[in-house]
């Protein structure tokens, strides 16, 4: 019989599809409009291999409600049919490092927002102008979040470390090293120390990528850390403001530390 204990402790969500747009001096007076199911910055970095000087002009979630999303084709349709914008032709700039017909001439931020507004209006008025897609029938990758169910207390040796940490911080120390043997519970103990010092931001740097899940589980599953949000490098690439937004929404009420 399959053990589903671990899965039962997970909250399942989806990576949200995004629309992005960028401009580049290599293709002057044109804007590239695309979509991605990965972090926008990650996708833009891929484009920077061909256009190092690109500038991000727009990034936004490609959803019309919690169950329905649209593709970049909808934006393209509005730009061409409603605003009569022209796609880039191969002959316009024949020596480009990479050609894409998703560059549109003379597009502005306002044009993108008008397209999004028209797409939303069409969906909510049940008009057949654009194609929409349901998440439950797509192949958008899943994301996982642990359910916050744990309430266990620190073990005696962990509590001793936390107490020593508190004493050192109270004495003005700010450069501390935790020495611990394997299976000590370093991530849990370190987060307990962060709570005790009322830290609003905890940065974890490791040469071992496989410890990420342990940190994620620690932060997301224990009620002691309910005022903290786990963010990894993909989270930071996915949004320019996710860190500041998370700090602003924090219920901890801790001073900046």
Dump pLDDT digits (tens) for 128-140. Answer: 899 999 888 777 6
Q: How confident is the model at residue 33 (pLDDT cuts 50, 70, 90)?
A: very high
pTM for this entry: 0.66
Contacts of residue 31, Cβ cutoff 8 Å, sequence gap at least 6 = 21, 22, 23, 57, 103, 104, 107, 108
Looking at residue 107, its pLDDT comes to 98
| Residue 64 near residue 123 (C-beta atoms within 8 A) | yes
Average pLDDT of the chain is 88
> How far is Cα 160 from Cα 167, in angstroms, rounded to an integer?
11
Tens digits of per-residue pLDDT, 36-89?
998 899 999 999 999 999 999 999 999 999 989 999 999 999 999 999 999 999
The 18-23 sheet, strands edge to edge:
55-61, 18-23, 30-36, 103-105
The pLDDT of 29-39, averaged and rounded, is 95
- The pair of three-digit structure tokens given for residue 170, joined into one six-digit string: 């109270």
Q: Which segments of the chain are extended strands (E)? A: 10-14, 18-23, 30-36, 55-61, 63-65, 68-69, 103-105, 133-134, 142-146
SS3 assignment, position 22: strand
Kindly state the tokens that stand for 73: 């084709």
DSSP-assigned letter for residue 226: T
Residue 74 CA, chain-centre distance (Å), reads 23
Percent of the chain residues topping a pLDDT of 90: 65
Q: What is the pLDDT of residue 9?
A: 62
Please measure the distance between the N-terminal and C-terminal CA atoms of the chain and give it in whole angstroms: 48
Tracing tokens 């804007």 back to the chain, one arrives at: 31
Of 79, 13, 93, nearest to 51 by C-alpha is 93
Inform me whether the pLDDT recorded for 30 exceeds 50: yes
Least confident residue range of 92-96, 122-126, 141-145, 159-163: 141-145
Q: Whole-angstrom Cα distance, residue 199 to residue 136?
A: 39
With contact defined as beta carbons under 8 Å apart, do 80 and 44 qualify?
no
């Amino acid at each position: 019989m399959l053990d589903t204990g671990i899965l039962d402790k997970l909250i399942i969500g989806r990576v949200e599809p995004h629309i992005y747009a960028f401009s580049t001096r290599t293709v002057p007076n044109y804007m590239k409009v695309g979509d991605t199911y990965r972090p926008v910055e990650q996708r833009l970095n891929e484009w920077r291999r061909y256009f190092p000087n690109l500038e991000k002009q727009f990034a936004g979630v490609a959803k019309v409600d919690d169950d329905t999303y649209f593709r970049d084709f909808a934006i393209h349709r509005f730009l061409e049919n409603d605003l009569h914008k022209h796609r880039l032709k191969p002959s316009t700039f024949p020596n480009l490092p990479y050609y894409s017909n998703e560059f549109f001439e003379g597009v502005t931020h306002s044009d993108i927002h008008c397209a999004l507004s028209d797409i939303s209006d069409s969906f909510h008025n049940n008009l057949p102008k654009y194609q929409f897609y349901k998440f439950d029938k797509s192949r958008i990758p899943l994301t996982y979040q642990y359910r916050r169910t744990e309430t266990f207390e620190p073990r005696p040796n962990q509590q001793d470390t936390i107490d020593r940490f508190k004493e050192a911080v109270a004495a003005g120390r700010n450069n501390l090293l935790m020495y611990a043997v394997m299976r000590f519970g370093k991530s849990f103990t370190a987060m307990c120390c962060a709570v005790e010092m009322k830290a609003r931001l905890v940065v974890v740097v490791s040469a071992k990528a496989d410890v990420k899940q342990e940190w994620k589980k620690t932060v997301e599953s224990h009620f002691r850390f309910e005022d903290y949000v786990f963010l990894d490098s993909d989270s930071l690439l996915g949004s320019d403001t996710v860190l500041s937004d998370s700090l602003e929404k924090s219920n901890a009420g801790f001073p900046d530390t």
